[in-house]
Structure 1
Amino acid sequence: MINFKRNRGLAALEMVFVLPILLLLLVAIVEMGRMFMHYTTLNKALQSGVRSAVVETYGTERLSGIASVDYIQSIVVCGSSICDTNTVLPGLTKADISIDDSSISNYVTVTANYDYVPIFSSLPIIGTSFDVTMTASTIMRTAP
């Protein structure tokens, strides 16, 4: 007959070794998903901004002009022309958005530099920060 008294507590000991690894893996998966969502939101906001730069050209001085820089930045940062405290991403400001209107090449480029701050922005043991700067840009033709 097998004596099971020697194996008491073995499952608890295995859990002590495996649980931190599984929790770290879970946190990494959640953080990567959140980072991907922020990057996708940033790209969609840039697409809206560059599209409004080309379409909303009423009142510009030349026929192939683009919308005003402040209007484009408001569309990217807030999602509408009226920019208040509600932004599409936390920490995204108008200063993070740059617009390049090269009238020679008939293209407009809208670029954003976004500082992504993870849920666990730093480990207390190591003291290093895990902040990541995301850079995204979108290009659209202004004239045929």
Structure 2
Amino acid sequence: MATTTRTAPLAQLGVLLAGRGAVASARVRDTLAAQGLTMRCVYTLTHLADGPVNQQALIDLLGVDPSALVAVLNELESLGMASRQRDAADRRRHIVTITPRGTAALQSVESALDGADDDLFAALSSDERDQLERLLTKVADAGSCGDKY
């Protein structure tokens, strides 16, 4: 019987990332839940932090289905973190704006996520963390990771 040499599954990059990703994902979800938000809310608030955006442009920026964005905007509005108003130039469109409460929540989330990162990546030096960020961004930019929303 012939023996096959196999790479140990835990040495494969995809498996390593999936395992660590599950841990990181749970940590991030818990951190956001403590702030009363979801990742979708944070992505949306992050885009709104740059200034008012019409709803269709926000859909395009986030690369999401319109109904998914409407659900998130409804949630953010109910929390007082975003507002939608009719565009005076085109009454069919809505302009979405982050509120001061949304800005404060986003700053709080960013601080909490920095703490979660410090815990998750404590074994890495600052240079190694920067390198990991660059590499993961490169992989994400190549489009092999799917939608973030």
Whichever structure has more helix as a proportion of its residues is 2
Q: Which has the higher strand share?
A: 1
Pairwise same-fold verdict (TM > 0.5): no
TM-score by length of 1: 0.32
User: Normalization by structure 2: what TM-score?
Assistant: 0.31
